[in-house]
Structure 1
Amino acid sequence: MQLIWLRSDLRQHDNTALAAAAARGPTVAVYLLSPQQWLEHDDAACKVDFWLRNLKELSNSLGELNIPLLIRTANHWDQAPAELLKLCRELKVEAVHVNEEYGVHESRRDAAVAETLQAEGIEFHSYLDQLLFKPGTVLTKTDTYFKVFSQFRKVCYERLHRSMPTLVKAPGKQATLKVDSDPIPDSVKGFATPSESLQALWPAGEEEARRRLDTFTDAQIEYYKSERDFPAKPGTSQLSAYLAAGVISPRQCLHAALQSNQGEFESGNVGAVTWINELLWREFYKHILVGYPRVSRHRAFRPETEALAWRDAPEELKAWQEARTGLPIIDAAMRQLLETGWMHNRLRMVVAMFLTKNLLIDWREGERFFMRHLIDGDLAANNGGWQWSSSTGTDSAPYFRIFNPLSQSEKFDSEGLFIKHWLPELAGLNKKEIHNPANLGGLFGVADYPSPIVNLSASRERALAAFKSLPSRTAMEGSDE
């Protein structure tokens, strides 16, 4: 008997571990519920709900292949070795198959499980699956992990020219086993069920992920570069939640993008090239997780920035979290996050820079808040994005680059459509007034909308001074964007 232990790979197609297990003999699948661990990792309730809904879909599709899906509980990952060993004994399992995961805790968990199983004579096989390249195989000339994305991308391109990752065939139907699938719970203790409207935005299952990918690559990818920065436009693929849960693979995404671009990933349709670039950013941050494990221990990638004098400003932090900053583009973005479990990528950068530069609040506060609300929460991508925005990370925005939320708003939501959708209290303002209602003054202001909690130019100077005072930072001229 073969056992596939499912984690962030909730799909039947192009699933390396599943295909490898099924090729070796009769296969059973298992998923471990780990609510205590998920709470410690700040996983969002809407994300846990999304996993459960996808497990239901996967259980049905595996059922058609006669592969039972079992549910077990290891409240904390420390309990995973004993729980899996017990199951292996019950089912007389010869080998356990997994797709690699890359955080510090994930790596420790898998090493402990492998050791426990191998001591009992049970094989443990792990496979490259959620990445195009195995961490440790894309390195600098001095055999170290890249710190700069453009150089990492160049080597990835060279590798892709030599050989393209192939898609793995889904397993065929196996003989019926005397093992029944377990019911998938509707909820897990400690995680509230999100609203029906949020769930409706993110239907579960591979068919939905495939539909989104096909729609995007057939019709929208061509305009991706020109439209992806405008939050009121449907310019992005809306696949991030499916990628994070492994309902679709980066290989499937890469192949679909290439198909839409005559097999090219460096030339041809600029939209397709830009989107493939985003897949490689995702890849880059996972490699960073392995090469520089301090980033998954709440540490800054650039050690010198650990000395930054972050402000303790609980009221301002709360105003940011609750979409009450008095800056419409920031508040609209935060409302989008709170209500949908997702935020437009351009706005993730804008709100992150506002928190870390204008409010000078530690990026870790923002990183944690995002993880607690994002349906696509992914340690590597979320940490990478926050550290990029706060100038503490790899290849980060120079510390003197501080997005001005007003100019970002005017540039990327010029008609105010996004703001009006999420802040209906401002719907009566024209497209000039809507970006900064404070300019209207008391009598003509908007009664139920707050004044800005910070002066943008003064706070910008404060941030520049804080960064300039760091050791080994060279003072540079400021530039606004």
Structure 2
Amino acid sequence: MTNTKVNEDHVIIWFRDDLRTLDNTALNHAIETGLPVIALFVATPMQWHQHYVAAIQVDFIHRRLRILKQQLVALNIPLHVIQCNDFRESVDAVAEYCHQHRVVHVFANKQYPCNEQLRDEQLGLLLAKSGIKQSLFDDNYVLQPETILNREGELFKVFTPYRSAWLKRFIAEPSYPVTTTKTVALSDTTSAMLADSTDIQSLGYPVIESVRWPVDEEAILQRLDTFCATKALDYHQQRDFPAIDGTSCLSPFLAIGALSARQCVYHLLQHFPNALEINKDSGAFTWLSEIIWREFYGHLMHRYPELSKNYPFQAYTQHVRWQDNPTLLKAWQDGKTGFPIVDAAMRQLRATGWMHNRLRMITASFLTKDLLCDWRAGEQWFMQHLIDGDFASNNGGWQWAASTGTDSQPYFRVFNPTLQGQRFDPKGDFIRTWVEELANVPDKYIHTPHQWESGECLDYPLPVVDHKQARLLAIDAFKQAKAVMDNHQ
């Protein structure tokens, strides 16, 4: 650690959902100034509550901050965590912190939902009054929002042409990880901060332990490399089967920024240089497509602010008459619908804070089509429980399943939960893991236990709806919504 001292002017790197020192655009720029750097993280428990942030994700963030603090010490950068209620208070808190520590420049990576953008705009205006600069960078995605547009200069509203344009642009202008490893100059202030060994205190939020997920750099990068080396090859064949460990399980690290999307693409291409070639029979290309889906939903949220405000993308679906049935909603939340694959998935979510992607589609379709419950109730429930909760991806996924979003599942296609279970968990291995009541049900009846002659003794609910009838009701509800929209035009 260098002992060189400089004047007391400082710059700040404000960490948000980018909790890493590797490949962090704002951090790189802060270091390049040559001035002493202070790292900030602002805990906003009331805002998290309003945004339904899962307690397990906040615990994951808390644990990751401890690692981040250690990593920053190696760069001569102290990390300071401050706490205030919400984004409004965070603006004043950061501005005051800047005044206290002679900060001349604040660096941060952009966040795209409306409330976050408003917070950054307000802070920029407040800092400017004191002559303090603010610089914001696009960092959350491989390719920046507003760079993947059609010939009319509009954002693609269908994924497949978006993906083609994404691939074309990436091939022409690759975006790979960039890391600055310089140690920065010290000031008396940063020297004193670095000498303080006080642990990071509670973030003021309920605690659900996230210890199942590692937070140290080596373990995270090892997970990425192991997936690319051993699982990516067969990803397209195994990713839909929840009883198989066939997915990357990297989404929690992407959600809090412990890993960047650029790192994922770079590692994948090291193992599969041809992954950029469209090939549906390629596991590597299929996984790359999932990363591009994440970009698609993030770019949409940037372009269409209404997606941050509970509005559906398809305007006519505002007229869908969702059923307000708390009993059915609770049965879905508790994993007691009488549909084994749905119940197993929902219990997995509650127990682990994570759910297999195929199961997210099945459970979302079931809530919105079989139970005709408002997709926003499901979106909220997932955010409250997912360790990998990402606003744009979660919103996009729910609107896809509910047929309310861009490039959404057509409303007349309704997942049959029983057939989905039979196809993707044929022997019921996943179901038996999470629905203990069905442990002894024969394979033949594991997806329809109520049809088993010995099923009368099971402590397991009968199906809460008849799927065939529910499907017709859902299709009719969307048809009526279209008719209402047509009459208003």
- Same-fold call, TM > 0.5? yes
Q: CA 1:73 to 1:188, structure 2 compared with 1: closer, same or farther past 3 Å? A: closer
Q: Do residues 411 (structure 1) and 426 (structure 2) align?
A: no
Q: CA 1:224 to 1:100, structure 2 compared with 1: closer, same or farther past 3 Å? A: same
Aligned length: 470
Q: Which residue of 1 aligns with 2:4?
A: none
Shift of 1:467: 1.2
Q: Which residue of 2 aligns with 1:432?
A: 444
Q: Which residue of 2 aligns with 1:231?
A: 242
Q: Which residue of 2 aligns with 1:193?
A: 207
Of 79-88 and 449-458, deviating more is 79-88
Q: Which residue of 2 aligns with 1:24?
A: 33
Query: Of the candidates 298, 309, 331, which is equivalent to residue 319 of structure 1?
Result: 331
Match of 1:470, SS?
helix
Q: CA 1:184 to 1:462, structure 2 compared with 1: closer, same or farther past 3 Å? A: farther
Q: Do residues 463 (structure 1) and 474 (structure 2) align?
A: yes
Q: In structure 1, what residue type is equivalent to 2:285?
A: V
CA offsets 1:76-108 (integer angstroms, 9 cap, x no match) = 101122111111112211111001110011110
Of 464-473 and 373-382, deviating more is 464-473
Query: Of the candidates 386, 389, 394, which is equivalent to residue 382 of structure 1?
Result: 394
Q: In structure 2, what residue type is equivalent to 1:192?
A: P
Q: Please show how residues 326-341 of structure 1 align to structure 2 within 5 Å.
A: 326-341=338-353
Query: Of the candidates 254, 271, 289, which is equivalent to residue 283 of structure 2?
Result: 271
Q: What CA distance in whole angstroms lies between the structure 2 residues aligned with 1:193 and 1:398? A: 39
Q: Which residue of 2 aligns with 1:43?
A: 53
Q: CA 1:458 to 1:217, structure 2 compared with 1: closer, same or farther past 3 Å? A: same
In 2, are the aligned partners of 1:308 and 1:470 still within 8 Å (CA)?
A: yes
Q: What CA distance in whole angstroms lies between the structure 1 residues aligned with 2:16 and 2:73? A: 18
CA offsets 1:236-258 (integer angstroms, 9 cap, x no match) = 11100100100000000000111
Match of 1:20, SS?
helix
Shift of 1:184: 4.8
Of 419-428 and 168-177, deviating more is 168-177
Q: Which residue of 2 aligns with 1:104?
A: 114
Q: Which residue of 2 aligns with 1:309?
A: 321
CA offsets 1:270-307 (integer angstroms, 9 cap, x no match) = 11101111000000001110111111100111010000
Of 358-367 and 429-438, deviating more is 429-438
Q: What CA distance in whole angstroms lies between the structure 2 residues aligned with 1:163 and 1:388? A: 30
Q: What CA distance in whole angstroms lies between the structure 1 residues aligned with 2:324 and 2:294? A: 31
Match of 2:385, SS?
coil
Q: In structure 1, what residue type is equivalent to 2:18?
A: D
Q: CA 1:293 to 1:32, structure 2 compared with 1: closer, same or farther past 3 Å? A: same
Q: What CA distance in whole angstroms lies between the structure 2 residues aligned with 1:279 and 1:133? A: 11
Match of 1:50, SS?
helix
Q: What CA distance in whole angstroms lies between the structure 1 residues aligned with 2:278 and 2:269? A: 11
In 2, are the aligned partners of 1:81 and 1:117 still within 8 Å (CA)?
A: no
Match of 1:98, SS?
strand
Shift of 1:446: 4.2
Shift of 1:17: 0.6
Q: Which residue of 2 aligns with 1:218?
A: 229
Shift of 1:473: 9.5
Q: Which residue of 1 aligns with 2:3?
A: none
Q: Do residues 452 (structure 1) and 466 (structure 2) align?
A: no
Q: Please show how residues 83-94 of structure 1 align to structure 2 within 5 Å.
A: 83-94=93-104
Q: Which residue of 1 aligns with 2:6?
A: none
Q: What CA distance in whole angstroms lies between the structure 2 residues aligned with 1:209 and 1:411? A: 32
Q: CA 1:61 to 1:392, structure 2 compared with 1: closer, same or farther past 3 Å? A: same
Q: CA 1:281 to 1:473, structure 2 compared with 1: closer, same or farther past 3 Å? A: farther
5+ residue gaps in structure 2?
A: 1-9
Q: Percent identity?
A: 42
In 1, are the aligned partners of 2:76 and 2:183 still within 8 Å (CA)?
A: yes
Of 330-339 and 138-147, deviating more is 138-147
Query: Of the candidates 184, 202, 226, which is equivalent to residue 213 of structure 2?
Result: 202
Q: Which residue of 2 aligns with 1:363?
A: 375
Shift of 1:360: 0.4
CA RMSD of aligned residues (A): 1.7
Q: What CA distance in whole angstroms lies between the structure 2 residues aligned with 1:184 and 1:49? A: 15
Query: Of the candidates 122, 128, 138, which is equivalent to residue 128 of structure 1?
Result: 138
Q: In structure 2, what residue type is equivalent to 1:55?
A: L
Of 171-180 and 107-116, deviating more is 171-180
Query: Of the candidates 137, 144, 151, which is equivalent to residue 141 of structure 1?
Result: 151
Q: CA 1:407 to 1:474, structure 2 compared with 1: closer, same or farther past 3 Å? A: farther
TM-score (norm 1): 0.95
In 2, are the aligned partners of 1:437 and 1:446 still within 8 Å (CA)?
A: no
Shift of 1:209: 1.8
Q: In structure 2, what residue type is equivalent to 1:74?
A: C
Q: What CA distance in whole angstroms lies between the structure 2 residues aligned with 1:267 and 1:284? A: 17
Shift of 1:186: 5.1
Of 142-151 and 38-47, deviating more is 142-151
Shift of 1:424: 1.9
In 2, are the aligned partners of 1:34 and 1:77 still within 8 Å (CA)?
A: yes
Q: Which residue of 2 aligns with 1:180?
A: 193
In 1, are the aligned partners of 2:375 and 2:398 still within 8 Å (CA)?
A: yes
Q: What CA distance in whole angstroms lies between the structure 1 residues aligned with 2:45 and 2:275? A: 43
Q: What CA distance in whole angstroms lies between the structure 2 residues aligned with 1:145 and 1:238? A: 29
